[in-house]
């Protein structure tokens, strides 16, 4: 068994623009803090954040 961290693909889609009102990236829906912390998060933390991001995206789409 390997001790290597399983890689979770970053949610970044190279649309890096922060929304002034929400404070979220318009491409991946993360905060600056979440973007900065991504590579230091555990796999479980990354997976949980991906779930949160899906919810944020759905909320944003419903407001458009």
On whether residue 6 sits in a domain, the answer given is no
On whether residue 2 sits in a domain, the answer given is no
Pair 23, 32: CB distance under 8 Å: yes
On whether residue 64 sits in a domain, the answer given is yes
Domain count within the chain = 1
pTM score above 0.75: yes
Q: Which structural domain range is residue 18 located in?
A: 14-64
pLDDT digits (tens, 9 = 90+) for 36-57: 999 999 999 999 999 999 999 9
On whether residue 5 sits in a domain, the answer given is no
On whether residue 49 sits in a domain, the answer given is yes
pLDDT digits (tens, 9 = 90+) for 5-15: 688 999 999 99
* Beta-ladder partners of 26: none
On whether residue 26 sits in a domain, the answer given is yes
On whether residue 1 sits in a domain, the answer given is no
The larger pLDDT score, comparing residue 64 to residue 41, is at: 41
């Amino acid at each position: 068994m390997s001790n290597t961290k399983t890689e979770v693909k970053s949610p970044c889609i190279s649309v890096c623009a922060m929304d002034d009102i929400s404070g979220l990236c318009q491409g991946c829906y993360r905060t600056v803090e979440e973007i900065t912390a991504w590579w230091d998060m555990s796999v479980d933390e990354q997976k949980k954040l991906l779930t949160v991001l899906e919810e944020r995206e759905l909320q944003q789409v419903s407001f458009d």
